[in-house]
């Protein structure tokens, strides 16, 4: 298993963002974003894990970095729940490492783009049972959310920033909106923000993320 990239802050770390890349990318994908955010978040460590390389069914079995296999695209995405659970457990393990290093769980944030976002939403609201600083859900969806799910009081207190492109043709805007509405209906403080973009990240979006994180790390 490839070790995560760890970007240490200029001052002693008292906060951490664990950031998962999307399908087919790697741990370096969001390194420039982390470096940009860290210019103003002087005590925040960034941890950038790497998904395992495995066959992805919808891509003809081609092997690529993937947090879980996607078996079909419609009517709703069919995924390997077992592999998603494994990836979520990796995130839980990373949270525990940060806690053991002295960072309070209330100052640990999970962030993920696309498939990585699906993993962090699952981790925060189905797997992790403690406090968190918040979740950044970028151009993503929540394949494991269902009407039967009950959120604990600590899960309801995890704030979420959902960011999505208006013209996203990979993860449709409506899929991100559905995850947002679900969290909102279950008592989570969740903010929806969309941008005139496709399946990508814009500088304006990164600035908004920086403001959101800074407000919660005062």
Q: Which of 14, 106, 186, 199 is catalytic?
A: 199
Picking from 52, 60, 48, 57, the residue whose alpha carbon sits closest to that of residue 78 is 57
168 is catalytic: yes
Active site residue 114: yes
Q: Is 68 helix (H, G, I), strand (E, B) or coil?
A: coil
What are the helix (H) ranges across 101-139? 115-122
Q: Helix 203-216 and helix 31-38: axis angle, to 10°?
A: 50
Its sign, for the CA torsion 179, 60, 54, 83, is positive
Active site annotation includes 122: no
Asked whether 45 and 13 are in contact (CB, 8 A), the reply is yes
Catalytic annotation, pick one of 114, 122, 139, 162 = 114
Gap between the Cα atoms of 120 and 109, Å rounded:
10
Catalytically active residues, by annotation: 114, 168, 199
């Amino acid at each position: 298993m490839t070790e995560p990239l760890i970007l240490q802050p200029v001052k002693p770390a008292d906060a951490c963002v664990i950031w998962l890349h999307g399908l087919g990318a790697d741990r370096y994908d969001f390194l420039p974003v982390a470096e940009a955010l860290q210019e103003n978040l002087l005590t925040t460590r960034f941890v950038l894990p790497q998904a395992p390389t495995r066959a992805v069914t919808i891509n003809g079995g081609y092997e690529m970095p993937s947090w879980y296999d996607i078996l079909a695209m419609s009517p709703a995405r069919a995924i390997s729940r077992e592999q998603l659970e494994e990836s979520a457990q990796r995130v839980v393990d990373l949270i525990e490492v940060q806690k053991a290093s002295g960072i309070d769980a209330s100052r640990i944030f999970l962030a993920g783009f696309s498939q990585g976002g699906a993993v962090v939403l699952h981790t925060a609201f189905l797997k992790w049972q403690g406090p968190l600083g918040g979740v950044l859900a970028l151009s993503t969806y929540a394949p494991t959310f269902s009407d039967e799910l009950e959120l604990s009081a600590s899960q309801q207190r995890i704030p979420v920033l959902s960011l999505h492109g208006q013209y996203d043709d990979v993860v449709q805007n409506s899929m991100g909106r559905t995850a947002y509405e679900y969290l909102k209906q279950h008592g989570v403080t969740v903010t929806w923000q969309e941008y005139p973009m496709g399946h990508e990240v814009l500088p304006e979006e990164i600035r908004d993320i920086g403001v959101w994180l800074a407000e919660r790390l005062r």
